Amino acid sequence: MSILVNADTKVVVQGITGSAGSFHAKQCLEYGTNIVAGVTPGKGGQKFEGKVPIFDTVEQAVKATGANASVVFVPPPFAADSIMEAADAKIPLVITITEGIPVNDMVKAKRFLQGGATRLIGPNCPGVITPGGKCKIGIMPGHIHRPGRIGVVSRSGTLTYEAVFQVTGLGMGQSTAVGIGGDPVNGTNFIDVLKLFNDDPETDAVIMIGEIGGSAEEEAAAWVKANFKKPIAGFIAGASAPPGKRMGHAGAIIAGGKGTAAEKVKAMSEAGYVMAQSPSELGTTLVEAMKRKGLKV
């Protein structure tokens, strides 16, 4: 088992003929992901890589192929529309890779999803991968992953890769790695993913990577303290970031004295996370967290 995606996931790629969409769709296919359809308005009827059928609308793609997950590579001005289109087609999981979507567009898209059956991951995220199911939906390098029992959840792409790489290097592997994205408005937060890992019998321990800005890490820490049963290691990026400056990610900004790394590290430590001081120690910190809970490594 795993969370969110597995060998049965049938993926439709929105924006499959664009430069990012086609490049990464190819990489996902090579990894073994079951991509059943692509969508590019105006290119319906064509084939991607000679085998994946392309449709004009998501609704058509779902009807014809039974796709049950979507990945969005559509450029920022049109991405929110694509998310809503996928939700309208009743796709249960929409993973949005696109970086740079206007906040107001996401506020509307998230309102549109409210009360519906669609879960949004991202935007501005690397995606989701379940190595055991050969299912990679996103832009992460597939070859650093190994099937295993460690869950990874992160706001940052490259830091997820760091964590995954070290876990693999220590001879372990990942059940599922989830990037929730670095934007201020996102579909799925830490708590949503931690709940899934908590209930997944094939996840033994979790690494959670946060960054400055907002209060998602503090909220996750409060939830972990009350509910989470498994060993958990953490890291927060941005301890040295100056206030008022946007550190690359739209959501990574210390505003009004809120969202500092110190507050987050404190909340997480008190909630039972074992915290890494540097991303170099993500793997060893995880091992420490597992040992403290009496797990064999």
Partner 1 sequence: MKIHEYQGKQIFKKYGVPVPRGIVVRTADDAEKAAKELGTKVVVVKAQIHAGGRGKGGGVKIAKSPAEAKDLASKMLGMMLKTIQTGPEGQKVQTLYVEEGLDIDKEYYLGVTLDRATSRITFMASTEGGVEIEEVAHKHPEKILREGVDPAVGFQAYQGRKLAYGLGLSGDSVNAFVKFCAALYKAYVETDAALAEINPLVRLKDGSILALDSKMNFDDNALYRQKDVVEMRDVAEEDEREAKAKEFDLAYIALHGNIGCMVNGAGLAMATMDTIKLVGGEPANFLDVGGGATKEKVTAAFKLILADPAVKVVLVNIFGGIMKCDVIAEGVIAAAREMKLTVPVVVRLEGTNVELGKQLLEKSGLKLIAADNLRQAAEKAVAALKA
Per DSSP bridges, beta strands 69-72 and 11-14 are: parallel
CA 124 – CA 188 distance, rounded (Å):
12
**Binding status of residue 294 toward partner 1 by CB under 8 A:** no
**Binding status of residue 100 toward partner 1 by CB under 8 A:** yes
E strands, the chain, in order: 11-14, 35-39, 47-48, 52-55, 69-72, 93-96, 119-121, 127-130, 135-138, 147-154, 174-179, 205-211, 232-237, 274-275
**Binding status of residue 115 toward partner 1 by CB under 8 A:** no
With contact defined as beta carbons under 8 Å apart, do 37 and 66 qualify?
Answer: no
- Of 162, 200, 204, 217, the one binding partner 1 (CB under 8 A) is 162
**Binding status of residue 173 toward partner 1 by CB under 8 A:** no
Residue with tokens 């059943």: 36
CA 96 – CA 98 distance, rounded (Å):
6
Of 9-17, 40-48, 191-199, 252-260, the window that binds partner 1 (rule: CB under 8 A) is 252-260
User: Please, which residue, 71 or 250, has the CB nearer to partner 1?
Assistant: 250
User: Please, which residue, 230 or 249, has the CB nearer to partner 1?
Assistant: 249
Judged by CB under 8 A, how many residues of this single chain contact partner 1? 63
Of 41-49, 141-149, 195-203, 221-229, the window that binds partner 1 (rule: CB under 8 A) is 141-149
220 three-class SS: helix
**Binding status of residue 269 toward partner 1 by CB under 8 A:** no
User: Please, which residue, 48 or 161, has the CB nearer to partner 1?
Assistant: 161
291 three-class SS: helix
Residue 49, CA distances (Å) to 37, 54, 79, 82 in order: 11, 10, 23, 22
With contact defined as beta carbons under 8 Å apart, do 144 and 165 qualify?
Answer: yes
Of 128-136, 196-204, 223-231, 245-253, the window that binds partner 1 (rule: CB under 8 A) is 245-253
**Strand pairing partners for 121?**
95
37 three-class SS: strand
CA 102 – CA 78 distance, rounded (Å):
10
Candidate list 24, 143, 145, 249, residue with the active-site label: 249
User: Please, which residue, 34 or 124, has the CB nearer to partner 1?
Assistant: 124
Of 34-42, 50-58, 66-74, 204-212, the window that binds partner 1 (rule: CB under 8 A) is 204-212
Which phi and psi angles does 235 have, rounded to 5°?
-150, 145
- Of 6, 17, 27, 68, the one binding partner 1 (CB under 8 A) is 27
**Binding status of residue 262 toward partner 1 by CB under 8 A:** no
Binding mask 35-64 for partner 1 (x = CB under 8 A): ------------------------------
Residue 249 annotated to the active site: yes
**Strand pairing partners for 177?**
129, 152
Residues that bind partner 1 (CB under 8 A): 24, 27, 76-77, 100-108, 110-111, 139-141, 143-144, 154-159, 161-162, 165, 182, 184-185, 209, 211-212, 214-216, 219, 235, 237-242, 244-252, 256-257, 261, 277-281
Please give the positions annotated as active site.
249
